[in-house]
Structure 1
Amino acid sequence: MTAGPETQVKPRSRNRRVAGADPDKRHQILEGAHAVFTARGFDAASMSDIAAAANVSKGTLYVYFQDKEHLFIALIEREREKQKQGIYEALADDPDLAHALASFGERLVRLITGGFALSAQRIVLGVAERMPELGREFFERGPMQGTRRLAAFLQRRVEVGELAIADAGLAAAQFIDLCQSTLTRPRLFNAVSVPPDDEEIARVVGSAVTMFLAQYGVRKPG
């Protein structure tokens, strides 16, 4: 028996995407969110503002992101992915320990003192007390991840006898803090309105490397 027209199931279009899975539309929304969050901050931004900036309906916006918080985290993750690979590449296979640390530190400081990273930090700090889950997620996916990656690198150098470190996680956090000395906090509080130049970053990070190796480096005999 042949099914009538009313019971026939139309084949699904091969070009039709699952709701919320169109990468171009997602990119469009994130671009709009970037503009709104940067201009207004987290609290003042609304999903209506973001929908208008992205040129999509609010219904479409909610198909992709359930709320403003998840949209903000997705935006941060996108920006981090663009920039962090170059930072970790500095730790890959450089045989010169001091050079690897300096390259990592300089790239990290450029990222942290850049405009978007500062805006994201300010927004998260502003809402972390009443939205601790947002602060925790930001910290775990950013600063904590970077510390762990550096700690793994340091531990490998311990194992080949270049460093003497009892707690690689602590040492990694110390090095990252040393690299930011005098550079990040003034930018974070807008006491300094422009990012540090390459010469200043190299000076501060170079000092951090010297101090770090003086504490943890293994002196070769002779």
Structure 2
Amino acid sequence: MATEAASTTDASPKRDAIMAGAWAVFLEHGYGSTTMDAVARAAGVSKATVYAYFPGKQDLFGAAMNNGARERFSAFVNQSPDPHDVEAGLRQIAHAYAAVVMEPDTIRFNRRLVAEVDRFPELGRMLYEQAFSVVREGIADFVRAAVSAGTLVADDPGLAADQFLALIRGDFYYRGLLGVPPARSPDQAIDLAIRTFLAAFGRPA
């Protein structure tokens, strides 16, 4: 099959259009029911152009997920919480994370992924590597900085990051995923998560 050459000048706009189209189609139809034809139509390009950038649907899904994660978590990753004011830093991290994971499109996408991961187990690995691990490492970096600043005590910053994430999402995230009304506001959930985390990892007075 002949493919259209991707020139240096038009590669980025076309790729961006494909990414946007792929995200919309995967979100609407899930991985299994998405076709490269549907992505091409949503992106306003030919199927040959899609294949010029991505040799198969799995490659396209991985790139779209990576792109979507970077867009949604860019504010989270680029923030610079102060490790010397650890409570304020944790609050900044928690609110930035909650804003992303409670976004309706994020919830819809996670529902789609969970429904299909048994048939396509590689999707779960992609999500972990291209979205969750980015968030985890961002929090672990803050924990390391706080340990160096003397405001936290954690032998394993990665494990501490895992536990903080679990505390944040434990209530409102899963309720959102399952369509259950929240038992408390995100602010209340975050306050409780921070108190619990500091009880475990805060520097003793």
Give me the whole-angstrom Cα distance separating, in 1, the residues matched to 2:56 and 2:36: 8
Partner of 2:120: 131
The alignment covers a number of residue pairs equal to 199
| Gaps in structure 2 of 5+ consecutive residues | 1-5
1:32 to partner: Cα distance = 2.0
Q: Which residue of 2 aligns with 1:11?
A: none
Show CA shifts across 1:5-57 (max 9, x none).
Answer: xxxxxxxxxxx8159x7111112222222322222222222111111222222
Deviation of 1:94 after TM superposition, in Å, equals 5.5
Instruction: Tell me the distance in 2 between the aligned counterparts of 1:30 and 1:218.
Output: 44
Q: Distance between the aligned counterparts of 1:121 and 1:149, measured in 2?
A: 21
Q: Give the structure 1 partner of residue 65 of structure 2.
A: 76
Written as runs of structure 1 = structure 2, the 5 A alignment for 1:1-222 is 17=7, 22-93=11-82, 95-192=84-181, 200-220=185-205
How far apart are the structure 1 equivalents of 2:72 and 2:21?
A: 20
Q: Secondary structure at the match of 1:142?
A: helix
| Structure 2 Cα separation of the partners of residues 143 and 35 of structure 1 | 20
Seq. identity, %: 28
CA distance in 1, matches of 2:85, 2:79: 11
Bigger fraction of residues in helix: 2
| Aligned residue type for 1:148 | E
CA shift for structure 1 position 211? 1.0
1:13 is matched with none
CA deviations 1:150-201 (Å, max 9, x no partner) are: 1122122122321122222111111111111221112212335xxx7xx922
Task: Kindly report the root-mean-square deviation, in angstroms, between the aligned alpha carbons of the 2 structures.
Answer: 2.3
In the alignment, the residues of structure 2 paired with residue 165 and residue 70 of structure 1 have an alpha-carbon distance, to the nearest angstrom, of 38
The TM-score normalised by the length of structure 1 is 0.80
Q: Between 120-129 and 139-148, report the one with greater CA deviation.
A: 120-129
CA contact (8 A) 1:88 1:104 kept: no
Q: Distance in 2 between matches of 1:132 and 1:22?
A: 31
**Secondary structure in 1 aligned to 2:185?**
helix
Question: Within 1, Cα distance between the matches of 2:107 and 2:56?
Answer: 22
Structure 1: how far apart are the matches of 2:119 and 2:84?
46
Which of the pair has more CA radius of gyration?
Answer: 1
For 1:35 and 1:150, how far apart are their aligned partners in 2? Answer: 29
| Structure 1: gaps of 5 or more residues | 1-15
- Matched to 1:82, the amino acid is E
The farther-off stretch of 24-33 and 104-113 is 24-33
Relative distance call for 1:125 and 1:72 in structure 2 (3 A) is same
